Amino acid sequence: METIYINWHGPFTRDDINCENHCKDDDCLCLSGNGLYALFGMQKYERKAKLQYIGLTQRRYIDRFNEKQDTENQHRINDISRNLMIWLGKVETPKRTVKREILEAAEYALIYFSEPQMNEKKTIYAPKFDCTVISRFFHKNSDKLRKRIPKLLNDIPDVISWNASPRNELHYCTRLKLIQQD
C-alpha cells in the first residue's frame, strides 16, 4: 500500500500567485510546482466558504494560476467569487521528482472522500487501488507546522487510509493529536 504525505501550505490569495505582484520571494512556493492544490471559498449563491476544488499540476503553480487561455481551472477560480483561499499541497518524498501517478492517486482519494463541490469527474467510483494519504498543514511559505488548523480545512482530513480489496475498508480521521514536535 502506498503512503503519500502531503504538506499543505497556505492560505495563498490569488495575488500571492499572480505573476506581476506575487510576494517576490525567491523561495515562494508559488514558484515550485508538481503538486496538488485546493481551492476554498464561496460561489456567488453560497453563504459559507468551503472546499470547492482539488486539482494537480505538473507545472509551476504560478504558471498554472496565470494561464492565459480559457481553461477549466480558470473557470473554477473565477466561479469562486468571494473569499478565495488557495492551499498548495506538496508531496513529501525523498525522491527528487514526484511521479504523476502518485499525484493522481492522492488527488483521486482526496476528491472521492472529501467531495469538493466543483470536482465532478472523479467522485463516482471508489478508488480501485489501496492508498493512505496523510495531510499536514503549514504556514504559507514556512516549514513550521500549524498548531491550530482552521475548521474550514476539515474537508481535508489528516488521514485517509483506503484498502480497496478485499473489502473496501476505510480509515478516516479529520485531525490527529500532535503529541510531539521538535
Which residues of the shown chain bind Zn ion in the complex (CB under 5 A)? 22-23, 28, 30
Ramachandran quadrant class, 74 (left: phi over 0; alpha: psi -120 to 50; beta: rest): alpha
Report the nearest approach of Zn ion to the CB of residue 141 (Å): 8
Report the nearest approach of Zn ion to the CB of residue 20 (Å): 11
Between CA 97 and CA 100 the distance in angstroms is 9
Q: Compare residues 18 and 117 and give the one whose CB is closer to Zn ion.
A: 18
Peptide bond into 166 cis (omega under 30): yes
Q: Within 13 Å and on the Cβ side, how many CA atoms surround 22?
A: 21
Q: Compare residues 22 and 133 and give the one whose CB is closer to Zn ion.
A: 22
Q: Compare residues 66 and 163 and give the one whose CB is closer to Zn ion.
A: 66
Enumerate the β-bridge partners of residue 41. Answer: 50
Distances (CA, A) of 109 to 10, 72, 90, 95: 21, 21, 15, 22
Report the nearest approach of Zn ion to the CB of residue 30 (Å): 4
Q: Compare residues 30 and 91 and give the one whose CB is closer to Zn ion.
A: 30
Report the nearest approach of Zn ion to the CB of residue 173 (Å): 32
